[in-house]
Amino acid sequence: MGGTVPVSEAAVRSATSATSATAPSTGAPKAAAAPVAPVVMIIGDSFTVGSGPVARWQSYAAQAARELDWQLITAGAGGTGFVNPGRVGRTFEDSFVDELAWRPAPDLLIVSGGHNDRDTPAAEVYGAAARLLDTARQHWPATRILVIGPLWMGAAPPWVRDVRDAVAYAAGESGAVFLDPLGQDWGPGATLPDGVHPTLEGHGRIGRWLVTALRENGVRTAP
């Protein structure tokens, strides 16, 4: 006599599992995760944050960041230095504490300056630079640190070399890489009419110099 054959629940589950296992996938392949851009923080003066017609996002640091695919965070202010607080009342160390130290550790920290530390004994500049670098090193022990000496668009006066040497010595003691831009010929059209600050083209040339110097010195922004 005809009739239905009872099928157990276990058999149904087994058949369903087998079908699912052998059925071809119709979903689109998963896209590979996009690489994470390295985070770079920089502290500096008007050369770094921009001045006059050159905005912060047009500075040499920002142009280098675009070339190297950085996530750039800029701190500092015009007229400031390792010792000189400028009109804003903040030294580089103050800017580190107020603007950067509360953030997660970056891949690379750049400190760029010394131009505004005129009339300051070299020993005092060295002490301030050493304190800043020591503070940063203790706060972010795994972060690479790069120091850029005073930027000068023309012939630098003698005192600038004393500041440069003091900053370079502090950088060496801390294990940071030091880059010296003094003596670079930035070429015609690189300086604003004030005779001090870079034009947009000047920032571009400084940015290209920085990118080249980073590569030549093996400074990486990723583990």
**Range 202-221 average pLDDT:** 94
User: Could you give the CA distance from residue 154 to residue 134 in angstroms, rounded to a whole number?
Assistant: 32
Output the CA–CA distances (angstroms, integers) from residue 128 to 67, 84, 188, 195, 197, in the order listed: 31, 10, 34, 28, 24
Domain CATH code at residue 65: 3.40.50.1110
Band of pLDDT at residue 35, cut at 50, 70 and 90: confident
Q: What is the arrangement of strands in the sheet containing 71-76, beginning at the earlier edge strand? A: 71-76, 39-44, 108-112, 144-148, 177-179
User: Could you give the CA distance from residue 37 to residue 126 in angstroms, rounded to a whole number?
Assistant: 33
User: Could you give the CA distance from residue 121 to residue 73 in angstroms, rounded to a whole number?
Assistant: 30
Average pLDDT in the chain: 89
Does the pLDDT of residue 221 top 80, yes or no? Answer: no
Q: Is residue 111 part of a domain?
A: yes
Does the pLDDT of residue 15 top 50, yes or no? Answer: no
Does the pLDDT of residue 191 top 50, yes or no? Answer: yes
Q: Is residue 26 part of a domain?
A: no
Q: Is residue 104 part of a domain?
A: yes
Band of pLDDT at residue 27, cut at 50, 70 and 90: low
If one compares 221 and 27, the residue with the highest pLDDT of the two is 221
Q: Is residue 1 part of a domain?
A: no
93-115 confidence digits (pLDDT tens): 999 999 999 999 999 999 999 99
Q: Is residue 163 part of a domain?
A: yes
Q: Is residue 144 part of a domain?
A: yes
Q: How many domains is the chain built from?
A: 1
Q: Is residue 44 part of a domain?
A: yes
- Domain around 201: 39-216
Q: Is residue 19 part of a domain?
A: no
